[in-house]
Amino acid sequence: MEVLRLHGASDVRIHHEPTPEPAPGEELVRVTAVGLCGSDLHWYEDGGIGESVVDEPLVLGHELGGVIVSGPREGERVIVEPANTCGGCEHCRVGNGNLCPDVSFLGHAPIHGGLREYMAWPQRLLLPAPDTIEGDDIALLEPLGIALHGVDLSHFKPGMSAGVFGAGPIGLFLIRTLRALGAGRIIASDVKPHRVEAALASGADEAWLADDDGVPAGIRDVVPVDVTFEVAGEDGALLTAMITAKRGGRVTVVGIPPSNRHSFPAGEVRRKGLTVAWSRRMKAIHMLRAIELADHGSVSLEGMITATYPLAESARAFDDLVARNGLKVVVKPTD
């Protein structure tokens, strides 16, 4: 089978390797769609993310789905839950598996991800894909789940106003989710004009084009909102979230900064008495909720995928990701 491996910063190569054999409790999955996301971008651009680095060629990809080709569920189309948590630690026992210190996470070294034709993964983490979730859209459920976790962290309630700063796929899913849950006014921003337009199309009432520093000119003149979200991984977006939050408001940080460090003026947070919540991945319940919301049409997946590439053209897919062309870029290891 063909496998795409990251050897270091900006260095991806196709390998030909044997098809894996499922271990007990696992099934073999033919991978049909893999979404590329912000964490994949950090791995690709920097050769690592946070304190983790590429020590040996790594298979990226954790937003994915495919078809089971082994066992009693053979032929079933599935969405892959990328987090294999230990299930027994203090965090797992209370439902916070996203904080499990012993999690095995697809595409995060040393666990290889989905940018390959076939992969073996625990059967319990292969979730049935409803017929309403068509084609490559199965790769969108994980980022929708990330957005749902962010909404929960924000303590959002229907009728609240919100700000979403960074209008990539997760930011757009935040806007769509907030709108579906009964948000009042929603404001948004991005440094890319096409993503500003996408924010408006997704339900934002106002969408600002940010300057090169990530902060829209005149943003201090807007009426403050109840909850804000940083979804770009950039200091400018975080500062915008702090500027637009009301006194006593709540800022939720969803993006991952490229340098593993954020910097912001402490006075902006202190004078307003802001609470800042930091998001890590999602809980298992959020993937299930994402599937339910998408299945019922409560949160639309439409228009999110703007480019698809075969596995052999993955370098072009990563070029798109780096340039932030379009919205969601999907690689298709198999048809």
pLDDT digits 0-9 by tens, 217-238 = 999 999 999 999 999 999 999 9
Confidence of residue 95 (pLDDT cuts 50, 70, 90): very high
Place of tokens 């003026």: 265
Answer for the pair 79, 129: CB distance below 8 angstroms, yes or no: yes
Cα angle: 293, vertex 326, 62; to 5 degrees? 55
Q: What is the mean pLDDT of the chain?
A: 95
- Structural domains present in the chain: 2-133+301-332 (3.90.180.10), 144-278 (3.40.50.720)
Residue 261 token pair: 């460090």
pLDDT: which is higher, 214 or 26: 26
Whose CA is closest to 332, among 316, 319, 322, 282?
316
Rounded to 5 degrees, φ, ψ at 252 are -110, 125
Pairing outcome for strands 52-53 and 48-49: antiparallel
Place of tokens 């006014």: 185
Residue located via tokens 């008495």: 273
At residue 267, does pLDDT exceed 90?
Answer: no
Q: What does the pLDDT read at residue 335?
A: 87
User: Is it the case that residue 268 has pLDDT exceeding 90?
Assistant: no
Please give the Cα distance from 25 to 287 (Å, whole number).
21
